[in-house]
Amino acid sequence: MSVSYDFTGKVALITGSSSGIGADIAELFAKSGANVVVTGRNADRVAKVAKQCTDVSPKQLKALQVVGDVNNEQDLNRLIETTVQTFGKLDILVNNVGFAHMADVDTEDYFQIFQNVLYTNLNSVVYLTHKCVEHLAKTNGNIINISSIASKISSRGSSPYHISKAALDMFTKCMAAELGPKRIRVNSVNPGAVVTNFVINMGLPTEMVEKFNETIGTKYPVGRVGQSPDIANTVAYLASDTAAGFLTGSIVVADGGHLAANVSIDGEKQKLNKN
């Protein structure tokens, strides 16, 4: 039996929603009756996902398209202002955008890589949350941050990513405690390996990434790696006041049993890193 949610009348803003997990989250909210805001850096991709959202919307609600970069404060301000001007409010903020770059600490440009990863994965979330509180307080809204199981484990060659996600988890908990009196819930979803273009966009060959997912999937207790809808459904659950109204400050792991089975991916990651 499939689970359905009703977000009729809600406004959901999803960063990094022009592809991958973010696109599936946006489509699920649209399918569930919400007004959605699709945003990303590529105008064509934003338009494509926005159309898909409109097509699946029960009332054919037109998704709002905002092209921008989360690393640009002016773009983030414009994103919020356009959302509120268009829909009059904000109910759900999903901080989904993420970036990874594999590098050892003795890599020549390691610190620049570290700064870039932190800026995208953490700074943008902090800034957007800071700016959205006044709007979410009016709607008793909620925030869902897309983190990673990388926040809970270590591996070679990608310390900036692990650090950024560990910090994001703590930010989630701090905001849950701080914003609770404003009746804003804040939670995190921490995926394991998920089939998206996330790794491919780092410049790695598609066939190599597919082999990586296949190999890792055999190690997962569920017998496969994740798909974008797996994460989208978890986000929808957390966003539902009916289903998850008592959850805040939760770090919800959706990893196919990765952590439970102590799956190591260092060997496979090193193969990717060599290419």
List strands edge to edge, sheet with 64-67. 64-67, 35-40, 11-14, 92-95, 142-146, 185-191, 251-254
Per-residue 3-state assignment (H helix, E strand, C coil) for 64-104: EEEECCCCCHHHHHHHHHHHHHHHCCCCEEEECCCCCCCEC
Count helices and strands in the chain by DSSP H and E runs: 10, 9
Which residues lie closer than 8 Å to 260 by C-beta, 6 or more apart? 221
Asked if residue 142 lies in contact with residue 183, where contact means CB atoms within 8 angstroms, the answer is no
Give which of 91, 166, 79 is closest to 131, Cα–Cα.
79
In the chain, what's the furthest Cα-to-Cα distance?
A: 54
- Residue 161 annotated as catalytic: yes
Give which of 37, 31, 38 is closest to 3, Cα–Cα.
31
- Whole-angstrom CA distances from 120 to 84, 143, 187, 217, 227 are 23, 17, 19, 28, 23
Centre a 10 Å sphere on the Cβ of residue 35 and count the other Cβ atoms it contains.
27
- Which of 5, 161, 220, 237 is catalytic? The answer is 161
Which residues form the catalytic set?
161
